[in-house]
């Protein structure tokens, strides 16, 4: 399998009056061609900053890369000039956001927004770009594409705007599509449609996808691999099956436990008690230690190394050290998510 992205030791901070916010701390992951990698974690865990770093969209300053490399097809994106990045963005790596209204231009027709990148990057004539625009809108399942192409974003429903944004993002058939909470603002039925659309497009166009979400429920049916982020770090990574059936990090257990289950419709959702670490002064040890029911003394003072549990699963937790006591995951954390998806 071809490795498209290879992220090593990525660290990103923001300079603020209170000091440096260490938003992304020594993050490592790879993305292979034609796969969907989900990056999952609570709000503030560093998912969006990681995603924006891949496109070099983090505003600098106040942001800065403090360490690491982002190799895309063997070249480090961090070293590229802004001009070089312009040809990567949209053409090779594209991004869609949670709220299409903030990234679609409200005073330009959807058609013009699709055509722009085709004319700029693919040297198409206006006429060719218009024709391709209609094809793309049809591809993303927009009804009446011939008429819709001449409309403005506000004339679309939320789900239609999300489809239009996907069409724009895919116009130049990028190798990687980064989707940052692409369905959070949509109702559940439309969410499912958009996720299945992304999956179809991945199969048809061969685009690899990075799906950023706080919702493990979205992951079960849409991703091949999962990276679980907490406090600016990836604490566990594995295949979807490994994460749902054999998670070994207590934070992943907490996420699995907090997923709604079919059988407990009326029960209150389990929430992980406590709050995420202060990234101005992140803990020396495991970022989850303060909230972890199994935390030992070592957890607070030393960050655990990754333990390789399989070719695909890696977990950073002191419980995997041979000197640690045996701890079984809570019952509701095992395959909890898959049950809820029927
Ligand atoms: N411009 C900025 N200045 C200071 N801190 C920032 C800035 N942008 C992000 N951060 C901080 O970086 C950390 C990670 O934020 P990020 O948006 O990546 O989290 P997230 O996991 O994507 O959460 P969400 O789902 O809420 O976006 C947070 O603590 C956030 O406050």
What is the per-residue pLDDT for 156?
93
Show Cβ contacts of residue 157 under 8 Å, excluding neighbours closer than 6 positions. Answer: none
Residue 18 CB less than 6 A away from ligand 1: no
What is the per-residue pLDDT for 337?
46
What is the per-residue pLDDT for 240?
95
Residue 279 CB less than 6 A away from ligand 1: yes
Q: Which two tokens stand for residue 1?
A: 């399998």
CB 14 within 8 A of CB 65: no
Mean pLDDT per 10-residue segment, the chain (342 residues): 94 97 97 95 94 95 97 95 92 86 89 91 92 92 94 92 89 91 78 84 89 89 94 97 95 90 64 90 96 96 96 97 91 61 38
- From ligand 1's centre to the CA of 20, what distance in Å? 12
Q: Whose CA is nearest to atom 4 of ligand 1?
A: 14
Show Cβ contacts of residue 217 under 8 Å, excluding neighbours closer than 6 positions. Answer: 259, 260, 337, 340, 341
* Single pTM value for the model: 0.92
What is the per-residue pLDDT for 90?
82
- From ligand 1's centre to the CA of 44, what distance in Å? 5
| ipTM exceeding 0.90, yes/no | yes
The hierarchical CATH code for the domain 3-92+174-229 is 3.40.50.300
What is the per-residue pLDDT for 265?
60
């Amino acid at each position: 399998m071809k490795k498209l992205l290879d992220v090593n030791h990525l660290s990103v901070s923001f300079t603020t009056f209170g000091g440096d916010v260490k938003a992304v701390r020594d993050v490592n992951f790879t993305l292979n061609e034609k796969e969907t990698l989900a990056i999952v974690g609570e709000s503030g865990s560093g998912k969006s900053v990681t995603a924006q770093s891949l496109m070099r969209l983090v505003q600098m300053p106040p942001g800065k890369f403090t360490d690491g490399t982002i190799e895309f097809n063997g070249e480090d994106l961090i070293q590229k000039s802004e001009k070089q990045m312009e040809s990567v963005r949209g053409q090779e790596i594209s991004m869609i956001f949670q709220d299409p209204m903030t990234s679609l231009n409200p005073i330009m027709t959807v058609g013009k927004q699709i055509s722009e990148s085709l004319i700029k990057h693919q040297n198409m004539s206006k006429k060719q770009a218009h024709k391709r625009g209609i094809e793309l809108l049809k591809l993303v399942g927009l009804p009446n594409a011939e008429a819709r192409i001449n409309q403005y974003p506000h004339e679309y429903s939320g789900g239609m705007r999300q489809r239009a944004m996907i069409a724009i993002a895919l116009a130049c058939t990028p190798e990687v599509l980064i989707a940052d909470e692409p369905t959070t603002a949509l109702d559940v039925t439309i969410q499912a449609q958009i996720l299945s659309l992304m999956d179809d497009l991945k199969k048809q166009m061969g685009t690899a996808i990075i799906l950023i979400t706080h919702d493990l429920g979205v992951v079960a049916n849409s991703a091949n691999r999962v990276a679980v982020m907490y406090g600016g770090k990836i604490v566990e990574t594995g295949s979807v099956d490994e994460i749902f059936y054999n998670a070994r990090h207590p934070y992943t257990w907490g996420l699995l436990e907090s997923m709604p289950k079919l059988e407990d419709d009326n029960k209150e959702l389990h929430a992980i008690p406590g709050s995420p670490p202060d990234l101005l002064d992140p803990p020396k040890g495991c970022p989850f230690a303060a909230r972890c029911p199994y935390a030992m003394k070592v957890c607070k003072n030393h960050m655990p190394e990754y333990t390789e549990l399989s070719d695909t699963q890696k977990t950073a937790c002191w419980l995997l050290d041979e000197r640690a006591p045996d701890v079984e995951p809570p019952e509701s954390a095992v395959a909890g998510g898959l049950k809820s998806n029927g």
